[in-house]
């Protein structure tokens, strides 16, 4: 009598083979570590940060007009920004010394629009002739002058990519992260020119007021080095908080100039003014922040 053997369905055997191969591949790619918290998300560390920073960018200004003397200047514009960031760090790279992680983040900040005059002449403001002195010469009218003011615009977008080295300090993790940084941010520019004309000092003479204003914005882009030192603070269930101090330097590239003009016309004549701002090559930033990591035990 011929013997027979019951065979397994071919489709089911193929599916089991694929599952076994996939499980083996995942085990091969998953980093091996003795830490329990590195098992979650296969050792990847997502984070959310909140930080405030102090930014300094230098610039030069020039003002020319048909009614006022020319003015030039060079000043540092300093402002504070505050915002949030999203970060992600890779599993430890075991073959390298200290088993560093590849870490990166992207952040978006707003700020306080405090400005600094890059160039100024006189004391520009509202043109006013003192009450009760009808025969005052034109030099006595207040508010005359010109200026070019620069300040923070509406956003500061930044990011980085670096290597994070973890050390133990007083039973806490201390991370030192040198990084490559980039930033795109906006500066706000405002120009004003004021002049009063009075040809005679007789009480019935009219005073001609000339006022010109203009606004401009300039987007600046830069890349450069950065360094962050981060110390673990406390644990809240699966979340670990840390305090970070960082510093960055951005070398601006591309066009750093911004020129804008204004005009004034009345029955006595036509006037014009031009403002020019040029920002320095380097921008510097220092910050302090708090970060939350998803790092279950």
- Which pLDDT value is given to residue 293? 95
Residue 128 has pLDDT above 60, yes or no: yes
Q: pLDDT tens digits, residue range 148-165?
A: 999 999 999 999 999 999
Interval 112-141 mean pLDDT = 81
- Which pLDDT value is given to residue 95? 80
- Which pLDDT value is given to residue 271? 96
> What is d(CA 41, CA 296) in angstroms, rounded to the nearest whole number?
10
Residue 19 has pLDDT above 80, yes or no: no
Nearest to 276 by CA among 262, 263, 257, 255: 257
**How far from 285 is each of 111, 149, 188, 228, 292, CA to CA, in Å?**
13, 21, 18, 12, 22
- Which pLDDT value is given to residue 168? 85
Q: pLDDT tens digits, residue range 44-65?
A: 999 999 999 999 999 999 999 9
The domain spans of the chain are: 39-294
- Which pLDDT value is given to residue 21? 44
- Which pLDDT value is given to residue 96? 79
């Amino acid at each position: 009598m011929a013997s027979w053997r019951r065979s397994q369905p071919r489709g089911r055997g193929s599916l089991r083979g694929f599952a076994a191969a996939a499980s083996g591949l995942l085990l091969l790619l998953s980093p091996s570590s003795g830490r329990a918290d590195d098992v979650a998300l296969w050792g990847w560390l997502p984070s959310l940060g909140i930080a405030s920073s102090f930014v300094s960018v230098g610039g030069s200004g020039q003002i020319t007009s048909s009614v006022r003397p020319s003015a030039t200047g060079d000043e540092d514009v300093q402002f504070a920004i505050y915002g949030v960031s999203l970060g992600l760090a890779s599993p430890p790279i075991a073959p390298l010394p200290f088993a560093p992680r590849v870490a990166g983040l992207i952040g978006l900040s707003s700020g306080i629009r405090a400005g600094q005059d890059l160039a100024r002449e006189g004391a520009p403001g509202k043109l006013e002739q003192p009450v009760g002195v009808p025969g005052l010469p034109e030099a006595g009218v207040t508010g005359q002058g010109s200026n070019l003011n620069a300040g923070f615009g509406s956003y500061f977008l930044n990011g980085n990519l670096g290597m994070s080295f973890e050390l133990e300090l007083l039973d806490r993790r201390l991370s030192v992260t040198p990084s490559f940084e980039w930033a795109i941010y906006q500066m706000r520019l405002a120009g004003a020119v004021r002049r009063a004309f009075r040809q005679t000092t007789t009480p019935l003479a009219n005073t001609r007021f000339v006022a010109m204003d203009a606004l401009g914005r300039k987007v600046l882009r830069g890349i450069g080095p950065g360094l962050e030192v981060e110390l673990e603070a406390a644990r809240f269930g699966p979340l670990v908080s840390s305090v970070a101090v960082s510093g960055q330097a951005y070398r601006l590239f591309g066009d750093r100039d911004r020129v804008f003009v204004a005009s004034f016309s009345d029955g006595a004549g036509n006037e014009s003014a031009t403002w020019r701002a040029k920002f320095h090559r380097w921008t510097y930033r220092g910050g302090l922040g708090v970060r939350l990591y998803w790092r279950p035990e």
